[in-house]
Amino acid sequence: GAVVSQHPSWVICKSGTSVKIECRSLDFQATTMFWYRQFPKQSLMLMATSNEGSKATYEQGVEKDKFLINHASLTLSTLTVTSAHPEDSSFYICSAGIPPRDPTEAFFGQGTRLTVV
């Protein structure tokens, strides 16, 4: 089956530093990937849509200069949290669809637990 791999699974960083999270599609090509954020006891909130070879599109209220997204190839999208602050501590998850082979399902990475101290 299709596999989406996300790395790292957890990271602790100091305030003011930047953290990069990778999302890879291991056995298929993904022209589009999605990045979500999930705070404790809340649902997944879509942050942005990552498009291969073009700029990401961000949801309302998400700072594009703070959450940098790069989708340089059909198998890799990265999310960089710049100048991280404690309020950025959250669970970040990526997903990739696989059109047209299986347009019915979105596949999720394992998620990254970010803690900013």
Partner 1 sequence: GQNIDQPTEMTATEGAIVQINCTYQTSGFNGLFWYQQHAGEAPTFLSYNVLDGLEEKGRFSSFLSRSKGYSYLLLKELQMKDSASYLCAVRDLNTDKLIFGTGTRLQVFP
Contacting positions for partner 1 (CB under 8 A) = 6, 32, 34, 36, 41-46, 49, 91, 93, 95, 97, 99, 104-111, 113
Nearest to 94 by CA among 111, 74, 113: 111
Nearest CB to partner 1, comparing residues 12 and 106: 106
CB of 101 to partner 1, least distance (A): 14
Q: Exposed, middle or buried: residue 100 (CB in 10 Å: 0-12, 13-18, 19+)? A: exposed
CA dihedral 87, 54, 31, 104 (to 10 degrees): 60
Nearer to partner 1 by Cβ, of 8 and 99: the residue is 99
Least CB distance from residue 109 to partner 1, whole Å? Answer: 6
Tell the smallest beta-carbon distance from residue 43 to partner 1 (Å).
4
Shorter beta-carbon distance to partner 1: residue 45 or 62: 45
In angstroms, give the least distance from the CB of 83 to partner 1.
26
